[in-house]
Structure 1
Amino acid sequence: MTEIENMSFEEAMKELEATVGRLEHGEATLEESIALYERGAKLRAHCDKVLRAAEERVEKITLAAGGQPTGTVPVEGL
């Protein structure tokens, strides 16, 4: 199993969706379900962390008087 911290957002979401599917369909024993739930919670936390980091990097496009893009300004600068 891949370490969650090393997963991309897409990889983590794909595994999280598969985990939720297994839990919803009752395809696991009680012990397996508990382990799946715990891993799912970690995957969700990782996805939240990656999304927050992406939001922090979002930049605002600045426009010149004529409406042409002139560059970007970091969100923190707003």
Structure 2
Amino acid sequence: MSTQVSVAQAKAEFAALVSRAEAGEEIIVTRNGKPVVRLSALTTAPVVYGDLAGLRIADDLSLPNDIVDDFLAR
């Protein structure tokens, strides 16, 4: 579900709009009747090792060996 509000209305009702966005509603903020910003909840995807499979680690990268080993093992 999407709702459009003007910049002025968004300024006046910002906390309420944030709460609505957190609840899953998409808020479109308009300026002079044109959509300019979308307010929606952040999605946090879990980190899955292996997403960077095939990534080459530079020899001069300064990371502890256990971190590099853990990355390469997965």
With normalisation by structure 1, the TM-score equals: 0.24
| Greater C-alpha Rg | 2
Q: Which protein is richer in helix relative to its size?
A: 1
Q: Which protein is richer in strand relative to its size?
A: 2
With normalisation by structure 2, the TM-score equals: 0.25
